[in-house]
């Protein structure tokens, strides 16, 4: 199962708990756990950084790529950063 499919299934369960059992404490706790799982899965889905810029060294050769987090807009992330060090979003640096 792909993360996107799991997210859709979990979101259906969240919607169901909101409609049917909105005031049962155990179900509210269950819904919060589902929402946390959805957030974790969304963070694991790679996203392209914003404002990607290629950095060259002094002799004009490629050195690295720099960009901003697409979720929290954290600046100063480099291609070596697989995850945003502020919000945990997985990054996709492929061009």
Cα(58)–Cα(48) distance, rounded to whole angstroms? 27
Residues 92 and 50 in one domain: yes
Q: Would you say the C-alpha torsion 91, 82, 84, 52 has a positive or negative sign? A: negative
pTM: 0.71
69: containing domain: 46-95
Residues 37 and 67 in one domain: no
65 touches 86 (CB < 8 A): no
Residues 50 and 26 in one domain: no
* H/E stretch holding 68: strand 62-68
Residues 52 and 88 in one domain: yes
Tell me: the pLDDT tens digits for 8-63? 999 999 998 888 877 778 888 999 999 999 999 998 889 999 999 999 999 999 99
Residues 54 and 36 in one domain: no
Backbone angles phi, psi at 12, to 5 degrees: -65, -40
């Amino acid at each position: 199962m792909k993360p996107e499919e799991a997210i859709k299934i979990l979101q259906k369960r969240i919607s169901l708990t909101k409609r049917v059992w909105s005031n049962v404490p155990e179900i509210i706790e269950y819904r919060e756990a589902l929402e946390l799982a959805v957030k974790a899965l969304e963070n694991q889905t790679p996203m392209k950084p914003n404002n990607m810029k290629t950095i060259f060294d002094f002799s004009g050769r490629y050195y690295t790529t720099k960009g901003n987090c697409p979720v929290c807009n954290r600046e100063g992330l480099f291609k070596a950063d697989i995850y945003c060090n502020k919000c945990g979003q997985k990054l996709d640096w492929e061009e």
